[in-house]
């Protein structure tokens, strides 16, 4: 988007599509007051809700509602903002948007110029982008707005609210301030070598670097937790037909989502449901039963199995179900071993496999213990349960959270994204190199200064202090129109 496009006034419906009790049309730009006058027939007081008609070109009411005028810079975007809050019918809202566009293009009675030149429809996320560009919020706070809207759990919503309030930005800015101080000392030493300042000793550079690295690691731990709250985990249920995958999905979800019958091959395609455990969202996918390729001639079942392996390849975790009631059958045990081998080849360490021994209620306790201790289940990666009775489900939920690295704490967490985690990791890598240069006897101050600069830049990308236009376009294009 060009700079002139970012300067032009914009208008959009700011409420969700469809019918509702209230609908909002929002206008943002410089010099919005004359448009407010044309639409309402009166001069609006700043930040005061005024009830009345919204007028068409002939002075007839399109709707009646509240009009609010927020002169810049004391507004959401930092520009003049007008909000028309009327009834939430889509036709009425589109009429109001169209009226805003025609009124803006009409000549002003006093000057003869357009009332609000260049008014156009807003692009997705453009109101929030303007708030960022006008220094009302930083980039991490802008992303938190979208995360708050998209939050799928209460914990995620609370964490997004903390990020929107600046909790995450405060941590990042504190790190950046420490880096700025270090960079100032290093570059001053480079600029005035004749002063013979023993930088490493007198400025305690190593101590400051160690402190910054420790603080950065703490922020990274919190960011990973926040990213987990936002992104969640994709968990795939895999195993032979009739191992109890659909029953386990229903048990985890607490609802009859998948059809369960004794007939092998009942599930032919993927069935998914998003659940939450301690506020962490998990997308659980039930897949078609897996067999050796030579065991089926059913084309539909072959397609279902192919989709199962595709889902497995994209999973964060795989729950490999074993039917304890059939483990003593040689053919069944051989097929399980073959599937386990193929799982290892398909995942190549990218995902974690948890071996779930189902139908524990149907066999003796001694048999359960024997299978838990034997291959293919490595120590710590196996759990026995009964999807029918619910026994062992809590242990599985706990295992999933532990595998994800969840620290069982939501208070004080802020929302983060994978790009934030990556930027923090990059900053930590450059700090580690800076520590190595600082430890050298010859000083290597020029290399130390460069690593500090790169670490500083990486942190700046989180809050938007250093952001390319293509990054901004990628972020804000994912927002809804009107926000």
Among the listed residues 244, 269, 260, the one whose alpha carbon sits nearest the alpha carbon of residue 327: 244
Q: CA gyration radius for the chain? A: 30
Under a CB-based contact definition with an 8 Å cutoff, are residues 385 and 391 in contact?
Answer: yes
Decide if pLDDT at 412 tops 80. no
Burial (CB count <10 Å: 0-12, 13-18, 19+), residue 58: exposed
pLDDT, position 258: 43
Under a CB-based contact definition with an 8 Å cutoff, are residues 10 and 28 in contact?
Answer: yes
DSSP secondary structure, 320-387, as one string: EEEEGGGTTSHHHHHHHHHHHHHHHHHHTTSSEEEEEEE-GGGS-HHHHHHHHHSTTS-TTSEEE--T
Binding residues for Mg(2+): 246, 267
What percentage of the chain carries pLDDT values higher than 90? 40
Decide if pLDDT at 123 tops 80. yes
Under a CB-based contact definition with an 8 Å cutoff, are residues 114 and 104 in contact?
Answer: yes
Number of alpha carbons in the 13 Å side-chain half-sphere of residue 152: 17
Paired sense of beta strands 233-239 and 280-286, if any: parallel
Averaged pLDDT for residues 221-227:
89
Decide if pLDDT at 255 tops 70. no
Decide if pLDDT at 181 tops 60. yes
Q: 316: which residues sit within 8 A by CB, 6+ positions away?
A: 233, 234, 235, 351, 352, 404
Q: Which of 85-99, 189-203, 237-251, 399-413 has the highest mean pLDDT?
A: 85-99
Binding residues for (6S)-5-formyl-5,6,7,8-tetrahydrofolate: 26, 83, 136, 483
Note the pTM of the prediction, 2 decimals. Answer: 0.80
pLDDT, position 253: 79
CA–CA distances in Å: residue 215 to residues 173, 174, 465: 12, 9, 20
Binding residues for GTP: 242-247, 261-267, 286-289, 358-361, 386-388
Averaged pLDDT for residues 64-86:
96
d(CA 382, CA 232): 22
pLDDT, position 90: 93
Average pLDDT of the chain? 84
User: For the chain, which domains are there?
Assistant: 3-137 (3.30.1360.120), 149-227+417-464 (1.20.120.430), 232-404 (3.40.50.300)
User: Using one digit for the tens of pLDDT, what is the confidence trace for 11-36?
Assistant: 999 998 888 999 999 999 999 999 99
Among the listed residues 390, 399, 401, 396, the one whose alpha carbon sits nearest the alpha carbon of residue 251: 390
Averaged pLDDT for residues 246-274:
63
Averaged pLDDT for residues 289-305:
67
User: Using one digit for the tens of pLDDT, what is the confidence trace for 232-243?
Assistant: 888 998 888 888
Under a CB-based contact definition with an 8 Å cutoff, are residues 454 and 429 in contact?
Answer: no
Q: List the single range of 220-234, 300-314, 333-347, 356-370 with lowest mean pLDDT.
A: 300-314
Q: Which of 211-225, 275-289, 294-308, 365-379 has the highest mean pLDDT?
A: 211-225
pLDDT, position 11: 96
Decide if pLDDT at 350 tops 70. no
Averaged pLDDT for residues 164-172:
94
Q: List the single range of 202-216, 289-303, 427-441 with lowest mean pLDDT.
A: 289-303
Among the listed residues 122, 105, 129, 111, the one whose alpha carbon sits nearest the alpha carbon of residue 9: 122
Under a CB-based contact definition with an 8 Å cutoff, are residues 312 and 287 in contact?
Answer: yes
Averaged pLDDT for residues 393-403:
87
pLDDT, position 470: 67
What percentage of the chain carries pLDDT values higher than 70? 86
Binding residues for K(+): 242, 261, 263, 266
pLDDT, position 456: 93
pLDDT, position 110: 78
Q: List the single range of 49-63, 111-125, 431-445 with lowest mean pLDDT.
A: 431-445
Burial (CB count <10 Å: 0-12, 13-18, 19+), residue 452: buried
Decide if pLDDT at 265 tops 60. no
Q: Which of 143-157, 184-198, 420-434 has the highest mean pLDDT?
A: 420-434
Decide if pLDDT at 278 tops 60. yes
Burial (CB count <10 Å: 0-12, 13-18, 19+), residue 286: buried
Q: List the single range of 109-118, 235-244, 443-452 with lowest mean pLDDT.
A: 443-452
Q: List the single range of 2-11, 70-79, 117-126 with lowest mean pLDDT.
A: 2-11
pLDDT bucket at 192, cuts 50 / 70 / 90: low
User: Using one digit for the tens of pLDDT, what is the confidence trace for 379-396?
Assistant: 458 888 888 888 989 988
Binding residues: 26, 83, 136, 242-247, 261-267, 286-289, 358-361, 386-388, 483
Averaged pLDDT for residues 280-309:
74
């Amino acid at each position: 988007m060009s700079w002139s496009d970012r300067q032009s006034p914009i208008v959009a419906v700011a409420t969700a599509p469809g019918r509702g009790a209230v609908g909002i049309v929002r206008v943002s730009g410089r010099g919005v007051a004359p448009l407010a006058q044309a639409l309402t027939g009166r001069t609006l007081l700043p930040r005061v809700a005024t009830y009345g008609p919204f007028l068409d070109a002939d002075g007839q009411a399109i709707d009646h509602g509240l009009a609010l005028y927020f002169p810049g810079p004391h507004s959401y975007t930092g520009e003049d903002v007008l909000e028309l809050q009327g009834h939430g019918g889509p036709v009425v809202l589109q009429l109001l948007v169209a009226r805003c566009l025609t009124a803006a293009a009409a000549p002003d009675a006093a000057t003869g110029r357009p009332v609000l030149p260049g008014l156009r429809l807003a692009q997705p996320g453009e109101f929030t982008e303007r708030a960022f560009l006008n220094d009302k919020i930083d980039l991490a706070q802008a992303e938190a707005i979208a995360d708050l809207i998209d939050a799928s759990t209460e914990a995620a919503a609370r964490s997004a609210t903390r990020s929107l309030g600046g909790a995450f930005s405060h941590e990042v800015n504190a790190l950046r301030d420490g880096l700025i101080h270090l960079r100032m000392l290093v570059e001053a030493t480079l600029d005035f070598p004749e002063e013979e300042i023993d930088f490493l000793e007198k400025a305690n550079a190593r101590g400051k670097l160690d402190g910054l690295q420790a603080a950065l690691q703490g922020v990274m731990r919190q960011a990973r937790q926040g990213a987990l709250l936002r992104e969640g985990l994709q968990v795939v249920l895999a195993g032979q037909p009739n191992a109890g995958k659909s029953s386990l999905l229903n048990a985890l979800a607490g609802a009859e989502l998948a059809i369960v019958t004794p007939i092998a091959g009942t599930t032919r395609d993927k069935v998914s449901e998003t659940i939450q455990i301690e506020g962490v969202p998990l997308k659980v996918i039930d897949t078609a039963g897996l067999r050796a390729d030579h065991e089926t001639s059913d084309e539909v079942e072959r397609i279902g199995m192919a989709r199962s392996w595709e889902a497995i390849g994209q999973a964060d975790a795989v729950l490999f179900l074993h039917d304890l009631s059939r483990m003593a059958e040689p053919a069944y045990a051989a097929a399980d071993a073959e599937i386990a081998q193929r799982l290892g080849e398909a995942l190549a360490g990218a995902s974690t496999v948890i071996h779930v021994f189902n139908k524990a209620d149907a066999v003796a306790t001694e048999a359960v213990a024997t299978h838990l201790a034997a291959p293919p289940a490595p120590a710590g990666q196996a759990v026995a349960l009964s999807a029918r009775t619910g026994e062992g489900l809590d242990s599985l939920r706990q295992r999933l959270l532990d595998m994800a690295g969840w620290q069982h704490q939501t208070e004080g967490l802020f929302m983060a994204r994978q790009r934030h985690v990556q930027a923090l990791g990059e900053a930590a890598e450059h700090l580690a190199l800076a520590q190595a240069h600082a430890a050298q006897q010859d000083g290597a101050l020029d290399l130390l200064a460069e690593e500090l600069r790169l670490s500083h830049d990486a942190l700046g990308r989180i809050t938007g202090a250093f952001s390319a236009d293509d990054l901004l376009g990628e972020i804000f294009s994912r927002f809804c129109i009107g926000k």
